[in-house]
Structure 1
Amino acid sequence: MTKTKLSALGFASALALSACSSDTDAGGGTTGTAGVDDSTITVTTSFYPLTFLVEEIGGDNVTITDLTPPGADAHGVELSPREVADLENSDLVLYVEKLSPAIDNAIAASDKDAVNIGEYVNLLPYDELAGDPHAHDHDDHAHEDEAHEHDDHDHDHDDQAGHDHGTHDPHFWTDPGRMMLAADQVVAELIELDPENEETYLANRDAVKERLQGLVDDLNSIDALQCRTDAFLVSHKAFAYLGNEYGLVELGIAGFDPEIEPSPARVREVTELAGEHDLDTVFATSDGEMKTASAIGDEAGLSVEILDSAATQRDADLDYVEVMEQNLELLRQSMGC
């Protein structure tokens, strides 16, 4: 199994602070590791889709710390000293490189073998998904801003805040087919740590993959030719894999990076696109992006809904599969299927 071995740059001060903290999970993660049963595998995950898979496959044999709190922006998450300590002390760390800069930095500054799930789920280049994170205000229907320049050396992309987006879109989890690939790697990691429970882990993996396959089948059942439109409009392009795999056209207000505010010109451009594609809805991909979506909705006369990217668990009563089932129904309604 390929793992990312990262050099120790020293997190001593943060860890010292964490030793003085209480057992309360100040960072809002799913579970903390303080006071847990030593017989369980302690797992730190970078965000909810990985947490979901570990919960489903590991069951009672795992204790999880999710570094992205419910409702937070996975791209802009910041870590508390306690969460840094949980990462350092975990038996297993699962993340997706280039999604969360703070988590990437914490892993790079630790002495951990962290598993980059992005290596196992067939990530695609931004350009292949009809977009470029460096050109913030365009998609496949818009003009690229000539003021942006590409780095000719490593072809990675940095936004105005200095975030390195890499070359491949990390939002793999909006395609349940790629979540099945991630499930295969999660079970392999758990079995390596706890071979005595291999049979349980494999059975749990098969069960969750059956649910994920149901989502794949439902998405494949959408016949865009029978819908009013084959397009959907979102606040940022978190659903590029879903659109690419299932023949739908994702239109993004703010490109791949939710932190970039659309310019007035982009707002006008998106309003025109909404008319061209006969759209009646604009989706925010999180609560934090409702302002952007509402601005377009007011301008273009569109209803505003949340198409939950499931990067965090907004509703504790709904798991990843149930959220995606709701998304599928919202897409059908918005496209007139």
Structure 2
Amino acid sequence: MTPPARAIVIDRPGEHRLLTGPRPEPGPGEARIAVHAAGICGSDREVYDGTRQPEYVRYPVTPGHEWSGTVDAVGEGVAPALVGRKTVGEGIRPCLACDRCREGTTSLCTSAYDETGFTRPGAFADFLLAPARLLHPLPDDTDLRAAALLEPAAVSAAAVLAGEPRIGDRVAVVGAGTLGLLAVQLLAAYSPGELLVVDPRVSRAEQALAMGADRIRTPEESRAVRGRFDLVVETAGAPSTAQDACLLARRGGRTVLTGMFEPGAEGIDPVHLAVSQLTIRSVFGAPSSAWSFAVRALAAGLLDPAPLITHELPLTGFGEAIGLVGSGDPAVGKVLLTP
């Protein structure tokens, strides 16, 4: 007899339950994935707290957009050879018909927002259904625990690609959270002339030294090197970090904003922007090209997300896990649920 499948369901903000029922069956074009691990991020905490904008969540919902697993079954029209493959998958479900999708920038799809873990059932479950076209199969020897972080790695990859790093560039990364530390690893592969990490949490920033950074500074200390860097990648989303990132860039330099800013964040000085002739890019989510970049970097050994994982809990520990993510404890890195 097939054992039942479990899933965390958030019925409304602050209320969740462990639902048990039959395994979901893949429809045409879909694959069913046996989830190995799923990461919890700040946006999942927003769903739980009810602070995510209403158009970006649909209750009741099973969260979980950062995940890894193995294809367990496929629906009509999907190659049977996919069964048994280790995989990760894109969460945003682009229409593939609008102008932005047709030019390859699928993260800018102009159709209605639709994403696994927010408007569709996600990976805080034993099994997940996903469109097969959004899967990125992995090499057989891939560490699925580390691969669960490929979703944030794809966002960091999108930021790195947007910044167009060049060999020998002086590079700064503002923020030593998950996105920042993953960006450091990817940027280190370009052999920068200098790679600085800026974060007020010295213990977190020190992790970057083992991942390719040359040195670390607090935001206050970084004022002494303003105007020095060819490329600055901002990943923190703190009130002052967009402005700080622009001030770190040299005249004619490049700045990429990746953090999720709250209303009231300090703006970028338009006089400084114009006089310094800065190039500013922003990143939200990741197109398919960035996913492919991150998957290749993992397979090549240039990216290792595993050291960022600090806690692993079962599905029944969801309440504790979501509390860790919102605790503000600098000792809490990436938290995984392992069905």
The TM-score with structure 2 as length reference comes to 0.30
Name the structure where helix makes up a greater proportion of residues.
Answer: 1
Name the structure where strand makes up a greater proportion of residues.
Answer: 2
The TM-score with structure 1 as length reference comes to 0.30
